[in-house]
Structure 1
Amino acid sequence: MPESISKGCPSPVTWTGRTVRLLDQRWLPARETYVDCDSSDAVAEAIHAMVVRGAPAIGVAAAYGLALAARNTTRLDALAAAGQRLKAARPTAVNLAWAVDRVLARCKTEQGLAADVLAEAQAIEAEDLRANHAMARHGAECLQGTVNVYTHCNTGSLATAGFGTALGVVRQLHAEGRLGQVFVGETRPWLQGARLTAWELAMDGIEPTLIVDSAAASVMRSGAVDVVITGADRVTADGDVLNKIGTYSLAVLARHHGLRMMVVAPMSTVDLDTTSASEIEIEQRPAEEVTAWNGERVAPQGVSVFNPVFDATPYALIDWIVTEQGVFTPPAS
């Protein structure tokens, strides 16, 4: 399979030489619009506002955000301050901090700063694309015969430098002629599954079946699913997985129904400095994401809202964690 993005999916992050151009994923699939960021702070705001999302894509965007900062300063302390503002945009996804720290680590002197930062950002983007294809091959090798898949959120070209993590495995299975049905959970409250994953798959000639999140148990019980495949925003040293809210529920349901659970994520998502998920700050999103729909309020005024964007899935509920370096399985698997 060629080392490229999917057939028709536009890139979520593009370095233009003057700006970081971000595909505004808040409006997909209704319209394809772009946000041109001309400063690192503009990139940080776009990350926070979900213009760009998906852990690897956020990391790539942040790296290029530092390239913008380095055009306007030759001071290492100013570049580091820009990096801190970028990292604060979304604290849970470890790729963001990883990419910023990697770029800053390359900058030992102020001489040639802009060139060094840009070169490292470009390297991060290229490595992520190669990692996606490696993960796709490793993940597909874990699965035998024709496979019916349930996937959650969006883990494809829109969430990465191209091709995808969990969706990369789906694409690999399709290329091998071994993909059966693909069930896509809508993924409330931002509907990344309905808006983004279903759109990506259709562009690749793969016909998904979209379901509401609350129908996952019924689909599994029907026998139509063989494996749940998701991405991750952070994997801790003990194998706990932080991912889009609802992933933990799917892992519990999969275990109850005798199905397998696969998590696909690059090594940049692995956080060896954090022992378990209990140590991680879970990002809380605004209440309006739940109480309103398309600008119209659907919940009563004053209602309390719990809106975490991620949950934690214990390693014991996961059958495979697939990275570009290979596949990890819990001792009991």
Structure 2
Amino acid sequence: MLKAIKFRSSNGQLEVLDQLLLPHTMSYIKISTVEDGWNVINKMQVRGAPCIAIVGALSLAVEIWNEEVADKKIFLSEIEGKLNYLISARPTAVNMKKESQNLMEFATSLCNDSECDPSDMKKKFIDQIIQMLEKDIADNKAIGKYGSEAIMATCKGSSQSVNLLTHCNTGSLATAGYGTALGVVRAMQESGKLNRIYMTETRPYNQGSRLTAFEMVHEKFSATLICDSSVAYLFQKKHIKAVVVGADRVAVNGDTANKIGTYQIACLAQHHGVDFYVCAPFSSIDPSISSGDQIIIEERPEREMTYVNGVRIAAQGIEVWNPAFDITPASLIKGIITEKGVYEPKDLKDCFAQS
């Protein structure tokens, strides 16, 4: 399986795969500081909400790896400043923000523990970050299991295999490993229930053609790449059982921010009677956001649309609007697949009310 993150817990060495160079070149970038982490996230050399959070947190771990901590309160203040800086790299994806909040709560508890000295505080804080890697893979496998079961539950006959469509990249390159939406695809492949996975090219960054296609070819899945503009015709001409996509942030009412183009696929899926699923760890659900209207949508540089491989493809002087994400209304989503199970969008609010 491809690895977006290489971390050595023996010496605190971190490398991330430069996904801007795929599929032609596999090259890893060494991360030594929080600034390094911020840069690879902001430049989209690392992407995918779960992967962003893990790389951001690990960049903090490696920066403080050899640091001598003498004062816990000063160390806590340092942690807070660096985590806030990391959140600013990609504001739409909620995972970095939520993991930062969790890490700050943990660091504060260590700071307030009179039996925990400064060196212990640093060690326990780093160990907490490392555990994020293992948890992400376990969560992804659970998402795969629950998603596969939900999709196949509506099929007639246990021997049936199905066609799926996905958008953007949500596999091992977007997570610590296995994947979210592609984790569902992987689980269905492992159980013999996947006939074919279709993927959009995902303009303007081409995460589908560059990354998802690369993963599927590498792992020998039955896979077909289509243009973003071919989705309606695909639904009309091929029997697509379900759409599975990831999420950068889910509002508590189920409205979902994901890669630009997701909303129009959901509209087309409803028109053609195709089930539409969002696949994401529970950490992607933001209980502080009541609806998608409150989600900040990142707008990317115009060059990402007007140039391909350094060559301008758009008319000089044309104005460009390049939102990185759109909002899919909860009404178009059949289920939100998490590591805790599959939820109808209307049930999310109750989940947080009970917790």
Normalising TM by the smaller chain, what interval?
over 0.9
1:177-196 aligned within 5 A: 177-196=192-211
- Identical-residue share of aligned pairs (%): 39
Q: What SS does the corresponding residue of 2:176 show, helix, strand or coil?
A: coil
Work out which of the two has the higher radius of gyration on C-alpha atoms and give 1 or 2: 2
Q: Equivalent of 1:12, from 5, 27, 31?
A: 5
Structure 2 spans left out of the alignment, 5+ residues:
70-74, 112-116, 153-159, 348-355
Post-superposition offset of 1:194? 0.5
Does the CA-based 8 Å contact 1:13-1:61 persist in structure 2?
A: no
Q: Equivalent of 1:200, from 204, 208, 215?
A: 215
**Larger CA deviation: 286-295 vs 119-128:** 119-128
* Amino acid in structure 2 at the alignment position of 1:233: D
Q: What SS does the corresponding residue of 1:53 show, helix, strand or coil?
A: coil
RMSD after superposition: 1.6
Task: Measure the CA separation in 1 of the matches of 2:38 and 2:345.
Answer: 36
Post-superposition offset of 1:70? 2.9
1:139 maps to which residue? 147
Does the CA-based 8 Å contact 1:263-1:321 persist in structure 2?
A: yes
* Amino acid in structure 2 at the alignment position of 1:22: V
Task: Measure the CA separation in 2 of the matches of 1:224 and 1:141.
Answer: 19
Change in 2 beyond 3 A, CA 1:230/1:318: same
Post-superposition offset of 1:325? 0.5
Task: Measure the CA separation in 1 of the matches of 2:62 and 2:82.
Answer: 10
1:120 maps to which residue? 128
2:96 maps to which residue? 96
Post-superposition offset of 1:13? 4.6
Task: Measure the CA separation in 1 of the matches of 2:21 and 2:68.
Answer: 34
Post-superposition offset of 1:224? 2.8
1:245-260 aligned within 5 A: 245-260=260-275
Post-superposition offset of 1:309? 0.6
Q: Equivalent of 2:61, from 63, 67, 76?
A: 67
2:283 maps to which residue? 268
2:72 maps to which residue? none
Task: Measure the CA separation in 2 of the matches of 1:197 and 1:114.
Answer: 37
Query: Is 1:304–2:297 an aligned residue pair?
Result: no
Post-superposition offset of 1:103? 1.7
* Amino acid in structure 2 at the alignment position of 1:57: C
* 4+ runs deviating over 3 angstroms: 71-74
2:233 maps to which residue? 218
Does the CA-based 8 Å contact 2:146-2:342 persist in structure 1?
A: yes
Does the CA-based 8 Å contact 1:70-1:79 persist in structure 2?
A: no
Change in 2 beyond 3 A, CA 1:269/1:137: same
Q: What SS does the corresponding residue of 2:196 show, helix, strand or coil?
A: strand
Post-superposition offset of 1:299? 1.2
Query: Is 1:289–2:304 an aligned residue pair?
Result: yes
Does the CA-based 8 Å contact 2:34-2:86 persist in structure 1?
A: yes
Does the CA-based 8 Å contact 2:195-2:222 persist in structure 1?
A: no
Post-superposition offset of 1:331? 5.5
Does the CA-based 8 Å contact 1:12-1:52 persist in structure 2?
A: no
1:321 maps to which residue? 336
Q: How many residues align?
A: 325
Does the CA-based 8 Å contact 2:254-2:346 persist in structure 1?
A: no
1:48 maps to which residue? 42
Does the CA-based 8 Å contact 2:249-2:285 persist in structure 1?
A: yes
> What TM-score does the superposition give when structure 1 sets the normalisation length?
0.94
**Larger CA deviation: 293-302 vs 232-241:** 293-302
1:3 maps to which residue? none
Task: Measure the CA separation in 2 of the matches of 1:246 and 1:191.
Answer: 12
Change in 2 beyond 3 A, CA 1:237/1:73: farther
**Larger CA deviation: 173-182 vs 112-121:** 112-121
